[in-house]
Amino acid sequence: MLTGMHSGTPERLQLGAGVFLKDFDFDGATGAADLVARAEEAVRTGRGLLGATRGGGSFICRPLLRSLEADGVRTPFVGSTVIDGWDVRLTGTLLEITPENFARALVCADVTATGGVTVVQAREALTEADYLPRICWIGSTSRGAVLIELTGVLNVKGAAFTFRDRGEGELPFEFRAHAVEPGQDTAPFRIVFFS
Protein backbone atom coordinates (compact mmCIF):
# COMPACT_ATOMS: atom_id res chain seq x y z
CA MET A 1 0.00 0.00 0.00
CA LEU A 2 1.32 3.46 -0.86
CA THR A 3 1.42 6.07 1.90
CA GLY A 4 3.16 9.34 2.60
CA MET A 5 3.88 8.15 6.15
CA HIS A 6 7.54 7.45 6.80
CA SER A 7 9.91 7.09 9.77
CA GLY A 8 10.36 10.89 10.03
CA THR A 9 6.62 11.68 10.05
CA PRO A 10 6.17 11.55 13.86
CA GLU A 11 8.86 14.23 14.18
CA ARG A 12 7.05 16.64 11.82
CA LEU A 13 3.59 16.91 13.37
CA GLN A 14 1.82 19.93 14.86
CA LEU A 15 0.13 18.89 18.11
CA GLY A 16 -2.76 20.41 20.06
CA ALA A 17 -4.79 23.60 19.73
CA GLY A 18 -2.11 26.07 20.83
CA VAL A 19 -2.72 29.52 22.29
CA PHE A 20 -3.62 32.98 20.91
CA LEU A 21 -1.69 35.98 22.28
CA LYS A 22 -1.78 39.68 21.42
CA ASP A 23 1.28 41.96 21.43
CA PHE A 24 3.44 38.98 22.43
CA ASP A 25 7.17 39.74 22.32
CA PHE A 26 9.06 36.69 21.07
CA ASP A 27 11.84 38.42 19.15
CA GLY A 28 14.54 37.44 21.67
CA ALA A 29 13.42 33.81 22.07
CA THR A 30 16.42 31.49 21.67
CA GLY A 31 14.53 28.28 20.95
CA ALA A 32 11.36 26.31 21.59
CA ALA A 33 11.90 25.98 25.36
CA ASP A 34 12.41 29.75 25.73
CA LEU A 35 9.39 30.53 23.54
CA VAL A 36 7.17 28.12 25.47
CA ALA A 37 8.36 29.57 28.80
CA ARG A 38 7.49 33.09 27.60
CA ALA A 39 4.07 31.93 26.35
CA GLU A 40 3.36 30.09 29.62
CA GLU A 41 4.24 33.27 31.55
CA ALA A 42 1.82 35.26 29.36
CA VAL A 43 -0.92 32.68 30.01
CA ARG A 44 -0.22 32.56 33.76
CA THR A 45 -0.31 36.36 34.14
CA GLY A 46 -3.03 36.89 31.53
CA ARG A 47 -0.75 39.47 29.86
CA GLY A 48 -1.64 39.42 26.18
CA LEU A 49 -3.78 36.30 26.44
CA LEU A 50 -6.98 36.38 24.38
CA GLY A 51 -8.42 33.57 26.48
CA ALA A 52 -9.37 29.93 26.41
CA THR A 53 -10.68 28.67 23.08
CA ARG A 54 -12.82 25.78 21.91
CA GLY A 55 -12.47 23.87 18.66
CA GLY A 56 -8.91 24.99 17.95
CA GLY A 57 -8.42 27.60 15.26
CA SER A 58 -7.17 28.10 11.74
CA PHE A 59 -4.64 30.11 9.78
CA ILE A 60 -5.83 31.17 6.35
CA CYS A 61 -3.39 32.77 3.95
CA ARG A 62 -4.46 33.44 0.38
CA PRO A 63 -2.46 35.38 -2.17
CA LEU A 64 -4.65 37.67 -4.27
CA LEU A 65 -3.57 36.44 -7.70
CA ARG A 66 -4.24 38.00 -11.09
CA SER A 67 -3.23 36.76 -14.54
CA LEU A 68 -2.04 39.35 -17.00
CA GLU A 69 -4.35 39.47 -19.98
CA ALA A 70 -3.56 40.35 -23.57
CA ASP A 71 -5.26 39.76 -26.88
CA GLY A 72 -4.56 36.27 -28.16
CA VAL A 73 -3.44 34.82 -24.81
CA ARG A 74 -5.87 32.04 -23.98
CA THR A 75 -4.11 30.35 -21.06
CA PRO A 76 -2.09 31.81 -18.21
CA PHE A 77 1.60 31.08 -18.72
CA VAL A 78 4.60 30.95 -16.41
CA GLY A 79 5.39 34.51 -15.42
CA SER A 80 1.96 35.92 -16.31
CA THR A 81 0.57 35.71 -12.77
CA VAL A 82 1.11 38.55 -10.30
CA ILE A 83 0.29 38.90 -6.62
CA ASP A 84 -1.88 41.94 -5.89
CA GLY A 85 -1.81 41.40 -2.12
CA TRP A 86 -2.58 38.91 0.63
CA ASP A 87 -5.69 37.90 2.57
CA VAL A 88 -4.32 36.60 5.89
CA ARG A 89 -6.50 35.54 8.83
CA LEU A 90 -6.36 33.74 12.19
CA THR A 91 -9.70 32.35 13.36
CA GLY A 92 -11.00 30.63 16.47
CA THR A 93 -13.71 30.68 19.11
CA LEU A 94 -13.18 32.28 22.52
CA LEU A 95 -14.77 30.93 25.67
CA GLU A 96 -13.68 33.86 27.84
CA ILE A 97 -16.27 36.59 27.58
CA THR A 98 -14.66 39.85 28.72
CA PRO A 99 -15.40 43.49 27.88
CA GLU A 100 -12.15 43.65 25.89
CA ASN A 101 -12.99 40.51 23.89
CA PHE A 102 -16.47 41.86 23.11
CA ALA A 103 -14.97 45.21 22.04
CA ARG A 104 -12.59 43.40 19.66
CA ALA A 105 -15.48 41.29 18.34
CA LEU A 106 -17.50 44.43 17.64
CA VAL A 107 -14.56 45.68 15.52
CA CYS A 108 -14.74 49.25 16.82
CA ALA A 109 -16.03 49.86 20.32
CA ASP A 110 -15.20 51.77 23.47
CA VAL A 111 -15.02 50.22 26.94
CA THR A 112 -15.78 52.42 29.95
CA ALA A 113 -15.85 51.34 33.58
CA THR A 114 -17.52 53.16 36.45
CA GLY A 115 -17.43 51.42 39.79
CA GLY A 116 -18.64 47.87 39.27
CA VAL A 117 -20.24 48.55 35.88
CA THR A 118 -18.40 48.19 32.55
CA VAL A 119 -20.07 49.28 29.32
CA VAL A 120 -19.05 48.24 25.80
CA GLN A 121 -20.37 50.68 23.19
CA ALA A 122 -19.87 50.13 19.45
CA ARG A 123 -18.87 53.11 17.28
CA GLU A 124 -19.65 53.97 13.67
CA ALA A 125 -16.03 54.66 12.66
CA LEU A 126 -12.74 52.80 12.91
CA THR A 127 -9.74 54.42 14.53
CA GLU A 128 -6.10 53.36 14.43
CA ALA A 129 -6.50 52.16 18.04
CA ASP A 130 -8.98 49.48 16.87
CA TYR A 131 -6.15 47.64 15.09
CA LEU A 132 -4.01 45.37 17.26
CA PRO A 133 -0.31 45.90 16.42
CA ARG A 134 0.17 42.13 16.32
CA ILE A 135 -1.45 38.88 17.30
CA CYS A 136 0.04 35.42 17.23
CA TRP A 137 -0.80 31.79 17.60
CA ILE A 138 1.74 29.46 19.20
CA GLY A 139 1.49 25.70 18.87
CA SER A 140 3.57 22.70 19.80
CA THR A 141 5.27 20.49 17.25
CA SER A 142 6.83 17.06 17.72
CA ARG A 143 10.28 18.66 17.89
CA GLY A 144 9.61 22.20 19.13
CA ALA A 145 7.12 24.97 18.48
CA VAL A 146 5.68 27.03 15.65
CA LEU A 147 4.45 30.62 15.85
CA ILE A 148 2.27 32.49 13.36
CA GLU A 149 2.25 36.28 13.77
CA LEU A 150 -0.13 38.70 12.03
CA THR A 151 0.40 42.48 12.08
CA GLY A 152 -2.09 45.37 11.87
CA VAL A 153 -4.87 43.06 13.03
CA LEU A 154 -8.60 43.73 12.99
CA ASN A 155 -11.45 41.31 13.74
CA VAL A 156 -13.53 41.32 10.55
CA LYS A 157 -16.18 38.81 11.60
CA GLY A 158 -18.12 41.03 13.96
CA ALA A 159 -19.82 39.75 17.11
CA ALA A 160 -21.70 36.46 16.93
CA PHE A 161 -22.07 35.51 20.60
CA THR A 162 -23.66 32.09 21.12
CA PHE A 163 -24.97 30.94 24.49
CA ARG A 164 -26.84 27.80 25.50
CA ASP A 165 -28.29 25.92 28.43
CA ARG A 166 -25.79 23.49 29.98
CA GLY A 167 -22.93 25.04 28.06
CA GLU A 168 -20.57 27.97 27.86
CA GLY A 169 -20.92 31.09 25.77
CA GLU A 170 -18.79 31.20 22.62
CA LEU A 171 -17.45 34.25 20.80
CA PRO A 172 -15.92 33.46 17.38
CA PHE A 173 -13.22 35.72 15.95
CA GLU A 174 -11.62 36.20 12.57
CA PHE A 175 -8.56 38.43 12.79
CA ARG A 176 -7.35 39.81 9.45
CA ALA A 177 -3.83 41.12 8.96
CA HIS A 178 -3.18 44.53 7.37
CA ALA A 179 -0.03 46.16 6.08
CA VAL A 180 1.31 48.57 8.67
CA GLU A 181 2.36 51.13 6.03
CA PRO A 182 1.18 51.85 2.48
CA GLY A 183 3.51 50.30 -0.08
CA GLN A 184 4.81 47.66 2.33
CA ASP A 185 6.58 45.06 0.18
CA THR A 186 6.21 42.09 2.53
CA ALA A 187 3.06 40.23 3.48
CA PRO A 188 1.66 41.20 6.92
CA PHE A 189 2.54 37.91 8.64
CA ARG A 190 5.45 35.67 9.67
CA ILE A 191 5.67 31.96 10.38
CA VAL A 192 8.52 31.12 12.77
CA PHE A 193 9.70 27.63 13.70
CA PHE A 194 11.55 27.00 16.96
CA SER A 195 13.51 23.83 17.77
The pTM score is: 0.91
Cα–Cα distance for residue pair 82/117, rounded to 1 Å: 52
Q: Return the number of other C-beta atoms located less than 10 Å from residue 133's C-beta.
A: 10
Cα–Cα distance for residue pair 114/177, rounded to 1 Å: 33
Burial of 152 (0-12, 13-18, 19+ CB in 10 A): buried
Per-residue pLDDT of the chain (195 residues; tens, 9 = 90+): 899 999 888 888 888 999 999 999 898 999 999 999 999 999 999 889 999 999 999 999 999 999 998 999 989 999 999 999 999 999 999 999 999 999 999 999 999 999 999 999 999 999 999 999 999 999 999 999 999 999 999 999 889 899 989 999 999 999 999 998 888 889 999 999 999
Q: Is residue 12 a contact partner of residue 195, using CB atoms and an 8 Å limit?
A: no
CA atoms within 13 A on the CB side of 26: 31
